[in-house]
């Protein structure tokens, strides 16, 4: 099987246990991934086709990433689309004398335009990311969105790069159940597994059916926008639970993810919040069954419909494909 074959990695099995077991998850590739990572979206620059625009200048990438490293973050979520990987790489390199590469976990993703352009563009982009992040391998490489008629080819291209040692684990992002099923239909025992599905998931967008399907297939779910937005942090239920456990509101949302078996990618330019998010999660407290159910029920029909519209736009964004190519029906939750 592929899993046995993957152990050809010369860097050997000790690399797979560089992260503390209680604070990491074992992926199907055999490598461990930290449960808490730091996001780099909208650091230094805001992508031109971003769905939201702010009048406030984005925070400096080098400064924020350096602070995140100082406060103990070791997993960094990057992407071609974010247009700042060189600055992320500079910050990591400046810190590298004190942190060996084996203690870092770097994630990147290829954007829709690259996925649509095909195999050669994907290979070129992976090589660019390796150069920008100043590393000889990427721990986890994701397909950013399931571009219709293109994403399965992208996965198989990444599989070849994995055999060359440029990528350790392969995953997807923003995939519905139907997208995963389509991709799975092209895989066999000689193909590396889908290790991760990075999706927006939080108590206000609880996509339980998608989560359960991924779990049934051994695909780990990782949350972006785990904190939803500023308004979510002030929800009465969140505030009440945070007060009970004497933790920040954001830690309640992150704890909900972890107790559902979901790793998280968080981001803040504020040093105090950075520290709160990474420290508070490992406080000795657990949300009880009633509290978990309360949080489960915060998802609304409107939130699921908004996700649906975002998905339809983003799978073809920055490509010549029209909306007619998007699958007509898919599982929202």
Is 151 annotated to bind a ligand? Reply is: no
Based on the residue annotation, tell me whether 175 is a catalytic residue of this protein.
no
Query: Using an 8 Å Cβ cutoff, are 26 and 12 in contact?
Result: no
Closest CA to 198 of 268, 284, 262: 262
DSSP 141: E
Distance CA 125, CA 289 (A): 44
Q: What is the DSSP string of 152-212?
A: HHHHHHHHHHHHTTSEEEEEEES--HHHHHHHHTT--TTSPP--EEEEE-BTTB--HHHHH
Show Cβ contacts of residue 243 under 8 Å, excluding neighbours closer than 6 positions: none
> Is the separation of the CB atoms in 110 and 80 below 8 Å?
yes
> Whose CA is closest to 150, among 121, 108, 192?
121
Alpha-carbon distance of 136 to 3, in angstroms, equals 22
By the 10 Å C-beta count (0-12 exposed, 13-18 middle, 19+ buried), 149 is classed as: exposed
> What is the SS3 assignment for 142?
strand
Give the residue ranges of DSSP H helices in the chain.
2-5, 61-70, 85-95, 112-117, 119-133, 151-163, 177-184, 208-216, 230-233, 236-245, 249-259, 271-280, 289-296, 301-314
Burial of 122 (0-12, 13-18, 19+ CB in 10 A): buried
Dihedral angle, C-alpha 41, 154, 25, 23, nearest 10 °: -20
| Residue of 41, 73, 82, 311 marked active site | 82
Cα(232)–Cα(227) distance, integer angstroms: 7
- Indicate the annotated binding residues for substrate: 144
Catalytic center residues: 82
- Indicate the annotated binding residues: 144
């Amino acid at each position: 099987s592929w899993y046995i074959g993957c152990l050809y990695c010369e860097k050997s099995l000790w690399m797979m246990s560089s992260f503390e077991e209680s604070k990491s998850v074992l992926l199907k590739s055999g490598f461990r991934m930290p449960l808490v990572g730091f996001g780099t979206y909208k650091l230094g620059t805001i992508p031109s086709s971003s769905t939201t625009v702010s009048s406030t200048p984005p925070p400096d990438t080098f400064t924020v990433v350096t602070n995140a490293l100082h406060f103990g973050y070791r997993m960094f979520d990057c992407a071609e689309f974010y247009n700042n990987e060189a600055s992320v790489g500079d910050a990591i390199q400046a810190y590298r004398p004190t942190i060996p590469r084996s203690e870092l976990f770097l994630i990147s993703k290829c954007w829709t335009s690259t996925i649509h352009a095909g195999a050669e563009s994907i290979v070129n982009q992976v090589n660019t990311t390796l150069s920008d992040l100043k590393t000889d391998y990427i721990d986890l490489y994701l397909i950013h969105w399931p571009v219709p008629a293109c994403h399965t080819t992208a996965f198989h291209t990444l599989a070849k790069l994995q055999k060359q040692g440029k990528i350790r684990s392969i995953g997807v992002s923003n995939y519905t159940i139907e997208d995963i099923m389509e991709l799975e239909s092209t895989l066999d025992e000689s193909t590396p597994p889908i290790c991760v599905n990075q999706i927006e998931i939080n108590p206000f967008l609880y996509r339980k059916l998608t989560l359960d399907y991924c779990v049934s297939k051994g695909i780990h779910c990782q949350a972006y926008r785990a904190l939803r937005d500023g308004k979510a942090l002030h929800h009465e239920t969140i505030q009440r639970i945070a007060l009970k456990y004497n933790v920040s509101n954001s830690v309640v949302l992150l704890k909900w993810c972890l107790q559902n078996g979901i790793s998280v990618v968080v981001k803040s330019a504020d040093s105090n919040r950075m520290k709160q998010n990474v420290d508070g999660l490992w406080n000795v407290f657990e949300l009880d069954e009633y509290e978990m159910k309360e949080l489960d029920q915060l998802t609304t029909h409107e939130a699921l419909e908004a996700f649906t519209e975002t998905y339809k736009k983003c799978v073809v964004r920055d490509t010549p494909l029209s909306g007619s190519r998007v699958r007509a029906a898919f599982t929202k939750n």
